[in-house]
Chains A and B, each alone.
Chain A
């Protein structure tokens, strides 16, 4: 018995030791410690519901793409690595400091930080910036319109013959001088977008999604399989050069990361719950949202506000919505509370163009829900055309939002036809002027950058009504409003301009080209192994890879 007892004791000790050793290992490879109390190192296994539109900084124009590349390509300016409104602050990136603006707002002067290197070891030069701008325009990037106000950029876009005369650089001093045709108050924000992040001048002028070019951020993309997956490793030149040159930007905690496309969000949720993956970029599907929120909020799940507006547009140039009374009546009939439920609590009701968090936002509600009043107004307006086609896309719950609008219009007495288009080509179809019966429909808008002009110029200015790729779905063209948008767009944003944008928001809503109904919330959902507190969700770039750390 004694012998047996000793053997048993040894076995118990061995088992305890084994468990102890096993618990030292985790999905994190390196346990050297550091970084916000969590473990430094390890490989983050993330999942996206879709592959980014492009894995090329000049071309990507989606949240997926910007999130995927935010810690790989650093522009001259960037956004503060912080959550919420703090994350909307523009800070120097590759540039030493924020630009000096002169010549009545038409000249921007910046200086490149010395000693910067790309992840392939090439030195960063000031002349890489005009190369990046020209490459982006040559590739017909969706971001081109932001930079066409640079002197000679429009001509370059037509001829593709450079250089762009409005950008002067000095590689010795690192000086970059940008001259604009006319003042552009949003240009500082636009310099903070990845479209114009400097790239080595031998970078091919083609979509490099399968072989992304070298960048200057703390991570580099080492492998990209479009449609399937991509991988990151630390940029070796971050520790040697860039990290020292840009001490205010984080170096990142994990050593590497793998992102896998899993198209079924239900599976993504299961994988996070089981710890198969550490993070999902997109929010849980509506059908699982309540369950995930209830079970994991505060520990593995966090609601993230976005600077976005979800709205119904009404074609203000054709009957019946050419009558402001009809448009106002629809606004009275829309119940934001119903839409909050349709979006499973993932939108916060609003009745205005500017969303919370955007400079210039001040809450107001000109149209508190009142269906009786709405019906009365329609009766008074007595529209000549009662046939309406309602447009929406197939993505849930946008399709249900479209059905909701369809039913509201029916209740108001209109004869409606609902058209639900595939989400992949919805905006192409409704943005094409030749598409018949573009009467009313669903849309949304997420900020390109935290400047209120981004919600007025592309969506509600008369000059934004285009034959194709139209973004002004309401075809709203009011001369007084157009003038204000143009004038404000030329001014640098300050308290006075913010007040003017507040007034503009209300002025446009009085004419009701839209029936806005909510601001979308997204979320952070991570596995139990990840420190939720450390994860940063920036309003412009989304989740920063550099902010993830294992517990």
Chain B
């Protein structure tokens, strides 16, 4: 294809074309879409196939398997194993614990929770990071110092341990901060913890890019034409950050999901009886010897989702900004030279 034709397509069409050329990424995008469809179909499966809700207990109930009645939980406390379609789809993956809840239904609803927490935390973290990164990079001076030092402070903390402590505190007492009131079991607790503690991982590279862009001619031209700081930041610089934001956002979803799974596994994230893939692993570990699938199924779903998002994220970066890596390195070098932050490539938690 000629250069002229490429130019006619525009940058987004070119990026799409580059992305579609990456077959692995397209395949994993398909996997991710399937996962989303899978979790969105939870109510349908629960109502029409499993005939039970995600938190509904069947400890003393029986299920008919191939015409024979079986205890969902035996008197010795052993939950029924996977029945696939032998019980008409009920207890497809077995019962989740001695409470006798349908594992498949909880896996689907748990996936909704995990994705919801992952996406929400990524959205909040990205929004905060963009605003902070723009302000720090554009204004410089004391604004930059305050924001950069705050981000450094958060970055220097053992994020998971702090998140765990805060998570446990919120899981017990909830949060009451002026008009903001969160109950102890609210999903917003893990969302807020994850988003706040992951802000630096996006804000710092964005700040570096803004520092780099703010010296460019198009920014100086806009300022010369009388554009105010807000207009320069949001109409001139922000569009140029789109590719970075999209890439980080995708990767941040995956990382937030892992963070949530870790917190929930340790009792500081999603609170029972609500399920998430993390809480399901916690329950499954207790029965690992007798029903290994209870821990393996949610673990596999986390792995698959995170893998898909990482591959798609990488492919997006390559597609949106083939020279992004070089520019990112340049931005970090610029940061280091300006003496405002320590050297080193930002790493996600």
Q: Which residues of A contact B (CB under 8 A)?
A: 266, 285-291, 293, 335, 337-338, 340-345, 394, 396-397, 399-400, 403-404, 406-407, 410, 417-422, 429
Is B57 a contact partner of A341 (Cβ separation < 8 A)?
Answer: no
With CB as the reference atom, state the residue of chain B lying closest to A343.
B77
Question: Are B77 and A404 in contact, with the CB atoms below 8 A?
Answer: no
| Neighbouring A residues of B57 by C-beta, 8 Å | 338, 403-404, 407
Q: How far is the CA of A1 from the CA of B184 in the complex (A)?
A: 86
Please give me the residue from chain A that is nearest to B273 by CB atom: A403
B contact face: mostly helix, strand, loop, or mixed:
loop
- Please give, as numbers and ranges, the residues of chain B lying within 8 Å of A396 by CB-CB distance: 286
Contact A345 B184 (CB under 8 A): no
Q: Evaluate whether A406 and B273 lie within 8 angstroms (CB atoms) in the complex, with A290-B78, A344-B77, A422-B168 already known.
A: yes
Stretch from B40-48, B152-160, B249-257, B287-295 contacting the other chain: B287-295
- Is B88 an interface residue, CB under 8 A from the partner? no
Query: A341 contacts which of B60, B272, B273 (Cβ < 8 Å)?
Result: B60
CB of B271 closer than 8 Å to a CB of A: yes
Asked if residues B98 and A341 are in contact (CB atoms below 8 Å), the reply is yes
Taking a contact as CB atoms under 8 Å apart, the answer to whether B273 and A290 are in contact is no
Report the Cα distance A407→B55, complex, angstroms: 8
If over half of A's interface residues share one DSSP class (helix, strand or loop), that class is named, otherwise mixed; here it is helix
**CA–CA, A399 and B76, complex, Å:** 18
Does any Cβ of A come within 8 Å of B97's Cβ?
yes
Whether, in the assembled complex, B74 has its beta carbon less than 8 Å from a beta carbon of chain A, the answer is: yes
Chain A residues closer than 8 Å to B183, beta-carbon distance: 417
Tier of interface size on chain B: 20 to 34
B:312-339 near A, CB below 8 Å: none
The 4 residue pairs across chains A and B that have the minimum distance between CB atoms: A344-B77, A290-B76, A338-B59, A342-B98
B184: nearest chain-A partner, CB-CB: A419
- What are 29 pairs between A and B in contact, CB < 8 Å? A266-B289, A286-B77, A290-B76, A290-B78, A291-B290, A338-B59, A338-B60, A341-B74, A341-B76, A342-B98, A344-B77, A345-B77, A394-B267, A396-B286, A397-B98, A400-B97, A403-B99, A404-B59, A407-B55, A407-B56, A407-B99, A410-B55, A417-B183, A417-B184, A417-B185, A418-B272, A419-B184, A420-B171, A421-B172
Given contacts A399-B272, A406-B273, A420-B267, contact A289 B76 (CB under 8 A): yes
CA distance A397 to B289 in the complex (A): 17
A341 near B290 with CB under 8 A, answer no
11 extra interface residue pairs, beta carbon distance < 8 Å, beyond A287-B290, A407-B57, A422-B168: A286-B98, A287-B286, A290-B76, A291-B290, A341-B73, A400-B97, A400-B98, A403-B272, A406-B273, A407-B99, A410-B55
> What is the CA–CA distance of A410 and B273 in the complex, to the nearest angstrom?
12
Question: In the assembled complex, which residues on chain B have CB atoms less than 8 Å from the CB atom of A407?
Answer: 55-57, 99, 273
Find residues 165-224 in chain B having any chain A CB closer than 8 Å to their own CB.
168, 171-172, 183-185
B residues near A400, Cβ cutoff 8 Å:
97-99
CB-CB nearest in chain B for A399: B272
B239 near A: Cβ within 8 Å? no
Determine if B228 is an interface residue (Cβ-Cβ < 8 Å).
Answer: no
Cα distance A340–B286 in the bound complex, in angstroms: 17
Proximity string of chain B (254-287) to chain A, C-beta cutoff 8 Å, 1 when within and 0 when not: 0000000000000100011100000000000011
Residue of B59, B75, B77, B288 ringed by the most chain A CB atoms within 10 A: B77
- Tell me whether A290 and B59 are in contact (CB under 8 A): no
When chains A and B are docked, how far (Å) is the Cα of A78 from the Cα of B98? 40
